[in-house]
Structure 1
Amino acid sequence: MKKFLALLVTVLAAMTISACGAGDDGGGKNNSAQKASSEVENNGKSNNDTSEKATVYPLTVKDATGLELTFDKAPERIVSTSPSETEILFALGLGDKIYGVSDYDDYPKEALTKPKVGGVTKPNEEAIIAANPDLVIGGISMKDDIVKKFRGLDLPLYKTEPKKIDDILNNIIQIGVITDTQVKAEELVAQMKKDISTVTDAAATLNEKDKKKVYIEFSPGWTVGKGEFMDELITMAGGINIASDMEGWNAINEEKIIQDNPEVILYTAKAEDDKSGKPLEELIKSRNGWGKITAIQDNNLTGIEGGIMSRPGPRITDALKQIAEAIYPDLYKK
C-alpha cells in the first residue's frame, strides 16, 4: 500500500486511494485553469509584435482555484511541492531560483540537490516558510485544506490542477509568464505540440476497425478511465482504453479485463506489488485466467517509466510517443 500511495502521489493527484476519485476537484476548477491561461496571456505579455516577450509587472493571475495573485516582479525564490511543476521550472532554466522541492522530486538530477519540503499532499509548512519564498507552486496532489492553511500563513501559493494535455501546456505557459521566462515556455510548448502532432497525424491514418484495445495498469491493481490525461494519451495515440467507460482512477475488475480482451497492455516499469513482491509485469501475466488475454498471448506488454507517464509536465509528450510506439510499432518504424 505504501508503494501504491507513493506512486499515486507522484503521479498526479495525491493519488492516495481517496484521490483515486480525483474527481473531487471538480470541473469548475479545471475551467478556472483554462481561464487563467487566457488571463495570464492577456495580462502579462508585452506587445506581441516584439520578438522578445517580457512579462510586464505588476502581474495579476488566477490559479486553478480561481484565486488572484499579484506579482510585483519575477519571483526570485521558488518552492515547488510537485514533481511535475519542478520539472517545468527546470525546463524553463529556473533551477537557480528553486529553494525547495517535494520529497518525490527526482528529475532532473539537479532536483535531488535541492532542500526537501515534505510530501506533495501535505508539505511541511515550517520548511517552506524557512525558504522565504516569493512563489510556492502546489500541484494537483495538494489537498484543499492544505491550500487554505498555506494561504492563511500568507504564503504566495499558486495552485495547479492539470487534468488534460491542454492543461499541462497551459501550465507551462502560465509559469513562464509569472517567472518572466515566456520565450522558453513557448519554445518548450511548441516542441511538445510538434510531438503531439507527430502522434495524432499517425493515428489519423488508422481505420476505426484497426484501432487496438489497450489496458493500462499504472500501479498494481489500479487503472485509469476517462477524464484523466493518461486516458487521453491512449486516445491521442489511436488506442481504445478499455477502462474509458469509467471515470478517473479505479481499482481493476479482473474479470472485466479478461472479457474486454485488450490487445496491448501498458504498465509502470519497475513497479512491484506490495503483497507478493512480484514485478508488475509478472503479476499481470500470472493472474488467474489472464493467459487468455490477447496481449499476454502475443507478449504485447510494454513498461513505461512512471516518472514520464504519470507526471503532467514537460516529459508527458515523451510518454505519448512511447505509448503510441507500444500500441502501433509499425507506424513508427525508422
Structure 2
Amino acid sequence: MKKIFNFQWLSVLMLAFLLVGCGTAEENANEDTSKQGAQSEESGYKVKDDRGVEVAFDAVPETVVSLQPSNTEILFALGVGDKIVGATEYDTYPPEALEIERVSDSMVFNSERILALNPDVVIAYTIGEKDALKVLEDAGVKVFVIQSATSFEDVYGDIEQLATVMGVKDKGEQLNKEIKAKIADVQAKLADVTTQKNAYYEVSPLPSIYTTAGGTFQQEILDAAKVNNIFGDQQGWIQVSEEDIIAKNPEVILTTNNYIEDAVGEILGRNGWNTIPAVQNKEVFLLDADTLSRPGPRIGEAVELVAKAVYPELF
C-alpha cells in the first residue's frame, strides 16, 4: 500500500480505473472504437476513482479544479489544461498554470471559493482526512480522487483515469507511449553501464536529514537511471544521520533542496564530509525538485536528469 509522507511528498495506493458507458444498444453498435474516451452527452459515463467510487458524468467536464500539481501537469499534457479554473499554490508547470486562480496550498483548500467557481469536477487526492472532501460533495460538486503515485505504473494509470474523465482517452494512451519511449531512449544511452554508481539522494538537509529509500517514486527514478541508492535497502522516506551517510561513502550526491541559497556549496562544506568520494570529486548535483518529486508526465525527464548528472559522458 502506498504511504503518505507529511512533508510535500504524498504517496498512496492507485486503484485500477473503470469506465462504464451508458447508452442504448443502437448507440453502442454505432460507436466507433477509435473515439474511445469521447463520450456523448446523451449517454453519460462513469469512471471509478481511487476511493473505489464510481463518479457519474452527464457530459465531459468543461471546468475543472485541480488540487494537486501532478494532476494539473497531467491535464495540461492531455491538452485540457485550459479547462482548469482553480489550482494550488504549487502549480507552477507548465507556465500557463501560473495564471490559474489559487484555491489551495496543496494541503488545505478553500471550499468556499471552489463552490463559487462551480466546477464540473474537482480532481482531488486523499490526504488522510476522510471528511476533507465531504463539504464539496455535500454541496453537489463532483469529486474525483486520484491518489498520488508511488511507481511509474501508477502514473500511467493516473493518466488513463484522467484522460477517461476528460473524454480524451486516446490522448492518454499516446501520452503514456511518449513517456515510455523517453525512458527507453535514456536507458538505451545507459546500456553500457555495467557497474552502477552509488548515490545518496538528499530530500531534506541539516539539521533533519531525510532521504528516499525503497518503495518510493524517487527510488524507481534512480533504478531507471541505473543509479544505486545507498539507502535503497530500506523502505519509504527515512531520516538518516551524517554518520550513516559518511559510512556509506557515496560516489555521487543528488539533492533537490532548492529552498536554500547554495545547496551544493552547503553539502560540500559540511564538517567531516570531506572523506566522501562525492565531496572530494565535487560530484554533488542540485536537480529540479518539481521534476523529481511530481508523479506526472515528466517522469521521463526526471530519469534523464538523474542519468545526465551521474553519467554525463553518455549524453
Both structures adopt the same fold (TM-score exceeding 0.5):
yes
Query: Shift of residue 15 of structure 1?
Result: 4.8
1:96 aligns with 2:79: no
1:44-70 deviations in Å (ceiling 9; x for gaps): 9x8997444343352222212222211
Of 216, 219, 237, the match for 2:204: 219
Please give the alpha-carbon distance, in whole angstroms, between the structure 1 residues aligned to 2:138 and 2:204. 35
Moved more, 108-117 or 278-287: 278-287
Moved more, 93-102 or 145-154: 145-154
Q: Do the aligned residues in 2 keep the contact of 1:135 with 1:156 (CA within 8 Å)?
A: yes
Please give the alpha-carbon distance, in whole angstroms, between the structure 2 residues aligned to 1:285 and 1:132. 51
Moved more, 143-152 or 102-111: 143-152
Please give the alpha-carbon distance, in whole angstroms, between the structure 2 residues aligned to 1:247 and 1:14. 13
1:244 aligns with 2:227: no
Partner of 2:273: 290
Partner of 1:254: 242
Structure 1: 5+ residue runs without aligned partners? Answer: 1-11, 273-277
Amino acid in structure 2 at the alignment position of 1:190: K
1:166 aligns with 2:153: yes
Query: Shift of residue 216 of structure 1?
Result: 0.8
Relative to its length, the structure with more helix (as a share) is 1
- The DSSP-based 3-state class of the residue aligned with 2:91 is coil
Q: Do the aligned residues in 1 keep the contact of 2:268 with 2:282 (CA within 8 Å)?
A: no
Partner of 2:120: 134
Please give the alpha-carbon distance, in whole angstroms, between the structure 2 residues aligned to 1:291 and 1:34. 46
1:309 aligns with 2:299: no
Partner of 1:7: none
Please give the alpha-carbon distance, in whole angstroms, between the structure 1 residues aligned to 2:126 and 2:306. 23
Query: Shift of residue 73 of structure 1?
Result: 1.2
Q: How many corresponding residue pairs? A: 301
1:319 aligns with 2:305: no
Q: Do the aligned residues in 2 keep the contact of 1:122 with 1:143 (CA within 8 Å)?
A: no
Amino acid in structure 1 at the alignment position of 2:232: S
Q: Do the aligned residues in 1 keep the contact of 2:16 with 2:157 (CA within 8 Å)?
A: no
Q: Do the aligned residues in 1 keep the contact of 2:15 with 2:49 (CA within 8 Å)?
A: no
Q: Do the aligned residues in 2 keep the contact of 1:261 with 1:294 (CA within 8 Å)?
A: yes
- The DSSP-based 3-state class of the residue aligned with 1:75 is coil
1:35 aligns with 2:16: yes
1:264-306 deviations in Å (ceiling 9; x for gaps): 111116331xxxxx52222222222111111111111121111
What percentage of aligned pairs have identical amino acids? 35
1:179-203 deviations in Å (ceiling 9; x for gaps): 0122222222111000111233444
Query: Shift of residue 224 of structure 1?
Result: 0.9
Structure 2: 5+ residue runs without aligned partners? Answer: 23-27
Of 66, 69, 91, the match for 2:52: 66
Relative to structure 1, the CA distance from residue 251 to residue 114 in structure 2 (aligned partners, 3 Å threshold; closer, same or farther) is: same
Q: Do the aligned residues in 1 keep the contact of 2:111 with 2:135 (CA within 8 Å)?
A: no
Please give the alpha-carbon distance, in whole angstroms, between the structure 2 residues aligned to 1:197 and 1:232. 14
1:112-150 deviations in Å (ceiling 9; x for gaps): 111110211221111111110111111465744414454
- The DSSP-based 3-state class of the residue aligned with 2:214 is coil
1:16 aligns with 2:6: yes
Q: Aligned runs of 1:108-257 on 2, under 5 Å?
A: 108-139=94-125, 143-161=129-147, 162-207=149-194, 210-220=195-205, 221-257=209-245
Compute the RMSD of aligned alpha carbons. 2.6
Partner of 1:275: none
Normalised TM-score (structure 2): 0.86
Relative to structure 1, the CA distance from residue 143 to residue 267 in structure 2 (aligned partners, 3 Å threshold; closer, same or farther) is: farther
